[in-house]
């Protein structure tokens, strides 16, 4: 029975009702009704059952979430924070930092991509080509307190490939920034070099930021490259299907 109420409702019935309500309403409103409801909403069992009903499962079944509520909300909210990552809208959404040679362009993939829905890519030329997006986490719905207290993993993914007939370079730099857009931490792997007469492999770069400390408000994603033989046209590195995601801790 809910304290202070006259109607005696079995908690099993209450929980079934709560499971049918939107999750944010359950947390913001129903949780405040009484002590019994708060215990239901705060229980791992409630969020584990929500995940089961909505078919939200950890990527690795052997690593169960420490916090099922956080796992539920991060998974439901998860999305690619980069705009136009697959060149479907040409260069829209990207800030061009370097535009060497015959400049950035977008074209159809020369070689099929592992995900057949990805059919286009960005291509570089004989001078250095770099493009960038800066993600405002608050505008994307990740408020300051959440980022500081939870410090959720930030997953970076990028795909790149050379042309068969020309050598090229690929580079990437991703920075986590504070409210003044000053550096907190970053990744900048060594440049990847492809020689001429390669088999045009699609390669994936992945990095997950963890335990980066409080204060992260922006993410600056920069990548690109060039060809190494200075041929007119677009013989440099190809990039596509880039992503920046706020993801559950159980993500490997």
Provide the b/e sequence for 57-74 (b: ≥16 CB within 10 Å): ebeeeeeebeebbbbbbb
What would the 3-class secondary structure string for 141-207 be? CCCHHHHHHHCCCEEEEEEEECECCECEEEEEEEEEECCCCCEEEEECCCCEEECCCCCCCCEEEEE
Query: Any idea which fold 11-77 has?
Result: Monooxygenase (1.20.1280)
Q: Tell me, yes or no, if the pTM score tops 0.95.
A: no
Query: In this structure, which CATH number among 2.60.120.260, 1.10.357.10, 3.20.20.30, 3.40.50.1980 belongs to the domain 95-246?
Result: 2.60.120.260
Residue 7: predicted pLDDT: 57
Percentage of the residues of the chain whose pLDDT score is greater than 90: 66
pLDDT exceeds 80 at position 238: yes
Residue pair 248/70 in contact (Cβ under 8 Å)? The answer is yes
What mean pLDDT value characterizes the chain?
A: 91
Residue 69: predicted pLDDT: 85
pLDDT tens digits, 33-83: 888 888 988 899 998 898 898 888 877 677 787 888 888 888 888 899 999
CA contacts within 13 A on the Cβ side of 148 = 8
Please give the average per-residue pLDDT across 121-140, as a whole number: 97
Instruction: Between 175 and 18, name the one with better pLDDT.
Output: 175
Choose the weakest-confidence range: 19-23, 101-105, 196-200. 19-23
**How many Cβ atoms sit within 10 Å of the Cβ of residue 137?**
21
Percentage of the residues of the chain whose pLDDT score is greater than 70: 94
Show me where the domains of the chain are located. 11-77, 95-246
Residue 90, Ramachandran bin (φ over 0: left; ψ between -120 and 50: alpha; else beta): left
Please give the average per-residue pLDDT across 122-143, as a whole number: 96
Residue 6: predicted pLDDT: 44
pLDDT tens digits, 161-172: 999 999 999 999
Residue 194: predicted pLDDT: 97
pLDDT exceeds 80 at position 5: no
């Amino acid at each position: 029975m809910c304290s202070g109420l006259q109607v005696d409702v079995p908690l099993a019935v209450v929980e079934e009702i709560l499971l049918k309500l939107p999750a944010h309403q359950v947390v913001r409103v129903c949780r405040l009704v009484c002590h019994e409801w708060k215990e239901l909403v705060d229980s791992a069992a409630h969020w584990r059952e929500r995940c089961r009903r909505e078919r939200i499962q950890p990527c690795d079944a052997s690593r169960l979430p420490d916090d099922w509520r956080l796992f539920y909300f991060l998974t439901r909210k998860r999305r690619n924070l980069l705009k136009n990552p697959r060149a479907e809208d040409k260069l829209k959404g990207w800030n061009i930092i370097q535009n060497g040679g015959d400049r950035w362009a977008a074209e159809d993939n020369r070689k099929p991509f592992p995900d057949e829905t990805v059919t286009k890519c960005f291509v570089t030329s004989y001078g250095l080509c770099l493009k960038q997006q800066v993600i405002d986490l608050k505008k994307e719905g990740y408020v300051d307190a959440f980022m500081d207290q939870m410090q959720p993993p930030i997953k970076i993914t990028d795909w790149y490939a050379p042309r068969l007939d020309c050598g090229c370079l690929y580079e990437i730099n991703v920075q986590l920034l504070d409210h003044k857009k000053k550096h907190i931490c970053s990744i900048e792997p060594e440049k990847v070099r492809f020689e001429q007469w390669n088999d045009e492999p699609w390669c994936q770069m992945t990095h997950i930021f963890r335990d980066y400390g409080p204060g992260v408000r922006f993410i600056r994603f920069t990548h690109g490259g060039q060809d190494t033989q200075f041929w007119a046209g677009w013989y440099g590195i190809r990039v596509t299907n880039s992503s920046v995601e706020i993801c559950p801790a159980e993500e490997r």
